[in-house]
Each structure stands twice: as structure tokens, then as C-alpha cells.
Amino acid sequence: MKNTLKVQRAIKNLTQAELAEKAGVTRQTINYIEIGKYIPTTVLSLKLAKVLGKPVEELFILEKGD
Amino acid sequence: MKNTLKVQRAIKNLTQAELAEKAGVTRQTINYIEIGKYIPTTVLSLKLAKVLGKPVEELFILEKGD
DNA sequence: ACTTTTTGTCAAATATACTTTACTTTTAGT
DNA sequence: ACTAAAAGTAAAGTATATTTGACAAAAAGT
């Protein structure tokens, strides 16, 4: 699964730390998700979608292997 | 977080086992998610959304405590 | 009532999300 | 070049998602 977090963050002009705070997780969690090391739970992806103003499907995209 | 899986399954006339198979997980996983015992990963909720033909936000809804 | 399908549940094992703390590297601003 | 902010990374610990196998309860079909 790939994601567009970096771009969406840029659009909203948010740092990883700021996004983390708004989503209620740590900065490292956001960093790892952005890099693809972690797959977030659905609760977290819904929160990120809410904060970033985009549907989950625009933030996270399934890939071949998934 | 609450979910509408049971209703969506009914609309598509799918058993838990059938939905599980289409999503590539076990029947127990679907059962636990439906009952609220498990929060699925984003990969799984995207797959469920795909199979059920509804956006993630319609299948899973954030609640107060989340 | 009987049988079959579907759903609920449990326990043990494995994988991985998330936290905390801390340090390094990169980027941006002056 | 210097400084500060932002992003990347890592290890250890905790929590929880998912699997497997198996059985009980409930629902549906005949």
C-alpha cells in the first residue's frame, strides 16, 4: 500500500509533528506510516482523513501485492 | 469505532465466510471486526470497501472515544 | 423436529502497530 | 557558514490484529 501523506501534509502546510498531534499519535508513528514502515489501523487512517480533509482512499492506495 | 459491515454484507448477500475469502482473511477476522473486537488495518478496510463497493468512511465510523 | 449453514467464541501462537527515548541527518532560514 | 527546525532512524517494550483449529449457539431450510 502506498500513501499520499507527504503531499497532503504539504497542501495543509503541516509538519509530521503537527499532524501527529492532531491525529493523537506520536511523530514517529506518522513518520513510519509516511515511509511505508507501518500500516495504520483504520481508526488512525480515518482520523488522518478527517484532519487532512480527504477520503481514506485518497490518502492510502492499495497496490498489486496487497 | 462502529461499523456497518453486517448491513453491507446483507446488501451484497454475502456470508462472513464469503466476505473473508474475497478480502483474503479468515472468517474469524471478519467476525471479530464486525462485532467490534478488532480494528482492521487500513489495507483490510480498503479491501473491504472495494469488495462491498462503499467508501471506507461508510463502512467504519469514528466515535466519541476514538 | 431435524439437518445444514451461519455466526459467535475461545485459546495459543505469530506478526506488527504504536510508544518512549534518544540520536543523526537533512532541510530551511538568517 | 551557522543555527534551528524538520525529518529519518533505531532499540526495547506494550498492545493488539490476524491465524489456526476447534467447538457451541443460533438461524434458516426442508
Q: For the segment B43-65, what is each residue's pLDDT rounded down to a tens digit?
A: 999 999 999 999 999 999 999 99
The torsion angles phi and psi of A14, rounded to 5 degrees, stand at -120, 140
- Counting residues of chain A whose pLDDT is more than 70, the rounded percentage is 100
The integer distance in angstroms from the CA atom of A13 to the C1' atom of C27 is 15
Average pLDDT for A35-51: 98
CA closest to B47 among chain A residues: A62
ipTM higher than the 0.85 cut: yes
Distance from CA of B40 to the nearest CA of A (A): 6
What average pLDDT does the structure give for chain B?
A: 97
Dist CA A30 CA A65 (whole Å): 23
The integer distance in angstroms from the CA atom of B65 to the C1' atom of D12 is 29
Residue contact B46–A40, C-beta within 8 A: no
Beta strands A2-3 and A60-61 are antiparallel
The integer distance in angstroms from the CA atom of A22 to the C1' atom of C14 is 32
**DSSP for A16-65, written as a single string:** HHHHHHHHTS-HHHHHHHHHTS-PPBHHHHHHHHHHHTS-HHHHEE--TT
Residue A25: pLDDT band with limits 50, 70, 90: very high
Residue A59: pLDDT band with limits 50, 70, 90: very high
What average pLDDT does the structure give for chain A?
A: 97
Distance from CA of A5 to the nearest CA of B (A): 14
Q: Which domains does chain B have, with CATH numbers?
A: 2-61 (1.10.260.40)
